[in-house]
Amino acid sequence: MSRIASVVSVSPTLRAEFFSPAAWETLGTLTDVLLVDDPATLGATLDARTGAASSGPSRAEVLVISWGTPRLDAALLDRMPGLRLVAHTGASVKPFVTPELFARGVRVTQAGQGMAQSVGEVSVVFAMALLHQLPRFHHGLASGASWEDAEDAPPRYEIAGTRVGVIGASRTGRAAITMLRALGAEVVVADPTLSAADARALGVALVSLDDLLSTSRITMVHAPTLPETHHLVGARELALMPDGAGLVNTARSWLTDEDALLREVASGRIDAALDVFDAEPLPVDHPLRTLPNVLLTPHHAAATVQGRLRQGAIVVEEIGRFLAGEPLQHEVDAAALTRTG
């Protein structure tokens, strides 16, 4: 097997976050690596180095990209005529990958599976926090409420034996399902692509979206951002949720109608725990920030030490498979461009 050039368009910070020393060393044994320190300068770096060395970027067959890499348009691709594989350290390739790239026969992989456990864990923590009324208790104590005020809190529930609805048996959804089942929750799933046999294998009941919303104490959203999933949980769907139920969203705000959700949580009828918002960063004066029955995190569900290293390991493993002529395990095709995220 001949060594091929690999251009790594990742900032030094992201490199340290994603690649363990061992993974980086493995990448170096697989390919001749040219590191682009500032991913935004990918084009300029390629221009400066093209043809310079035997491992020069014009010979690059593999390109590792990350957040911050510019869009791989025709002009950029023309600088890498030998390109055969783009490996993304993140999940959604839409911001970087163009139809032109697929048309040239370049293959694309992504590392979303590396994030699944972290995001699933945050969803489960969110679910348990809402069931135990932690946002209300914390808000009360932090804002000077009396100890006795807690007596007025709504009823609290164990997750064991409680019905939790998961919208989307996706990578992140499946990670959440595994943990929810281990905790003894009764898990129901709505997913138009899931077969009855797959639902049985997952140990969950497959139900309609309306059934899920109207019977679950917690609804968690784990669907991808497709045209048909825009505002999947809108005003009508939120109204189906029982009084006191909780909505968990660690996926994308695309999937829920944030205005309708704000009305429901502001009235106190349902509670919410959210990692994702229509406007990110969430404006400092946003009304969601002040509600006692809402738990907020700044789109950090995936960003754990282990998750990021798993993402880097996936990239290196995929490059190894590609060079060995083995099937890729995380390949995406042009359909990935229909996702909005």
Q: Kindly indicate which of the ranges 2-10, 99-107, 126-134, 297-305 contains the residues binding ligand NAI, using the contact rule CB under 6 A.
A: 297-305
Rounded to an integer, what distance in angstroms lies between the CA atom of residue 167 and that of residue 229?
Answer: 11
Binding to ligand HPV by CB under 6 A, coded x per residue (else -) over 247-286, reads ----------------------------------------
Contact flag: residue 119 with ligand NAI (CB under 6 A): yes
Measured at CB, which residue is nearest to ligand HPV? 90
For the chain, how are helix, strand and coil distributed in percent, rounded to 5? 45, 15, 40
The verdict on whether 88 is a catalytic residue reads: no
How many Cβ atoms sit within 10 Å of the Cβ of residue 43? 15
Give the shortest CB-204-to-ligand NAI separation in angstroms: 12
Minimum CB distance to ligand NAI smaller for 162 or for 250:
250
Radius of gyration of the chain (CA): 23
Q: Kindly indicate which of the ranges 100-108, 110-118, 132-140, 265-273 contains the residues binding ligand NAI, using the contact rule CB under 6 A.
A: 110-118
Contact flag: residue 59 with ligand NAI (CB under 6 A): no
The verdict on whether 171 is a catalytic residue reads: no
CA-closest candidate to residue 122, choices 19, 243, 220, 255: 220
DSSP 278: S
| Residues contacting residue 130 through CB under 8 Å, at least 6 positions apart | 218, 246, 248, 271, 272, 273, 295
Q: Mapping DSSP to helix (H, G, I), strand (E, B) and coil, where does residue 312 land?
A: helix
Rounded to an integer, what distance in angstroms lies between the CA atom of residue 60 and that of residue 38?
Answer: 18
Based on the number of CB atoms within 10 Å of its own CB, is 113 exposed (0-12), middle (13-18) or buried (19 or more)?
middle
Rounded to 5 degrees, φ, ψ at 250 are -110, 10
Catalytic hit among 200, 280, 300, 326: 280
Contact flag: residue 91 with ligand NAI (CB under 6 A): yes
Rounded to 5 degrees, φ, ψ at 35 are -90, 125
Q: Kindly indicate which of the ranges 18-26, 237-245, 257-265, 297-305 contains the residues binding ligand HPV, using the contact rule CB under 6 A.
A: 297-305
Minimum CB distance to ligand NAI smaller for 205 or for 266:
205
Contact flag: residue 302 with ligand HPV (CB under 6 A): yes
Question: What tokens appear for 12 in the block?
Answer: 């030094």
The verdict on whether 237 is a catalytic residue reads: no
* CB of 175 closer than 8 Å to CB of 119: yes
Cross-strand bridge partners of residue 36: 9
Minimum CB distance to ligand NAI smaller for 226 or for 309:
226
Q: Which listed residue (109, 170, 219, 293) binds ligand NAI by CB under 6 A?
A: 170
Q: Kindly indicate which of the ranges 3-11, 16-24, 42-50, 219-227 contains the residues binding ligand NAI, using the contact rule CB under 6 A.
A: 219-227
Minimum CB distance to ligand HPV smaller for 114 or for 292:
114
| Residues contacting residue 30 through CB under 8 Å, at least 6 positions apart | 3, 6, 316, 319, 320, 323
Q: Which listed residue (6, 31, 92, 293) binds ligand HPV by CB under 6 A?
A: 92
Catalytic hit among 171, 174, 252, 308: 252
Contact flag: residue 336 with ligand NAI (CB under 6 A): no
Q: Which residues bind ligand NAI (CB under 6 A)?
A: 91, 112, 115-116, 119, 167-173, 191-194, 222-226, 228-229, 250-252, 275-276, 299, 301-302, 341
Residues forming the active site: 252, 280, 299
Q: Which residues bind ligand HPV (CB under 6 A)?
A: 90-92, 115, 299, 302-303, 341
